[in-house]
Amino acid sequence: MRALLATCLLGGCALGVDAGVLQQPTLDPKGASLNAHIGAGGGGGSRSRYVVALGLDTRIDIASGGSRWAAGTSLLGGIRVPGVFLDARVGIWRAIVSSADEAAVVPSFELGAFVPLHERFDPKHPQYGESADGLVVGIREDLDEASYFTVFVGYALFLVPGY
């Protein structure tokens, strides 16, 4: 955790939170999901072609087929197209507490978009760093014993420190 914090302070930080609807099968709502992400990374502004982050994640799922609190790690990557960053996240998580049978390690796959809403960068003073924050939307699939398809929306912030 200290290494992640040091990397964020020196090289850039990516933070995110999202909420979604759990579905099983697809289009049959079964519950809700709340996720939080913190990692080393950056991008997301108009001067960036990419967005990237490697981080730690936690999630709470409340569902009729079993609720859980889980933690894991993921890698986020994306490329800018006009107005948005199309992105994908791959990760693994493990349930800390669960009311259902869980696999020991669960792979998770996500497709989405980051829509920058605010950007802070002063070309006259690049030493102050830059940031971009905005809306995230997407879909996620977990490959657990009881797999859920999730549609989510949230907020993300990318910070690049100054020098």
Under DSSP, is residue 8 helix (H, G, I), strand (E, B) or coil? helix
Question: Quick check: 141 pLDDT over 70?
Answer: yes
Residue 103 φ/ψ, nearest 5 degrees: -70, 155
Statement: residue 20 has pLDDT above 70:
yes
3-state secondary structure of 58: strand
- The answer, yes or no, to whether residue 107 has pLDDT greater than 90, is yes
Rounded to an integer, the average pLDDT of 127-148 is: 90
Pick the closest to residue 119 from 52, 14, 13, 43 (CA basis).
Answer: 43
What is the Cα–Cα distance from 49 to 80, expressed in whole angstroms? 5
pLDDT at 6: 65
Q: Phi and psi dihedrals of 2, rounded to 5?
A: -65, -40
DSSP code of residue 7: H
Q: Does the pTM of the predicted model rise above 0.85?
A: yes
pLDDT at 24: 85
Residue range 2-160 in CATH 2.40.160.20: yes
The listed range with the strongest mean pLDDT (38-42, 152-156, 159-163) is 152-156
pLDDT in tens, 75-103: 999 999 999 999 999 999 999 999 988 89
Could you tell me the two tokens for 11?
């090289």
For 44-100, strand residue ranges (E) read 50-63, 68-81, 84-98
In angstroms, the Cα distances linking 101 to 63, 66, 72, 92, 94 are 13, 8, 17, 17, 12
In angstroms, rounded to a whole number, what is the distance separating the alpha carbons of residues 94 and 70? 5
Q: Which residue has better confidence, 11 or 158? A: 158
> Which amino acid, residue 8?
C
How high does pLDDT run on average in the chain? 90
Residue 147 has pLDDT above 80, yes or no: no
Please tell me the predicted confidence (pLDDT) of residue 38. 93
Q: What does the alpha-carbon distance between residue 122 and residue 72 come to, in Å, rounded to a whole number?
A: 35
Grade residue 5 by pLDDT with cuts at 50, 70 and 90: low
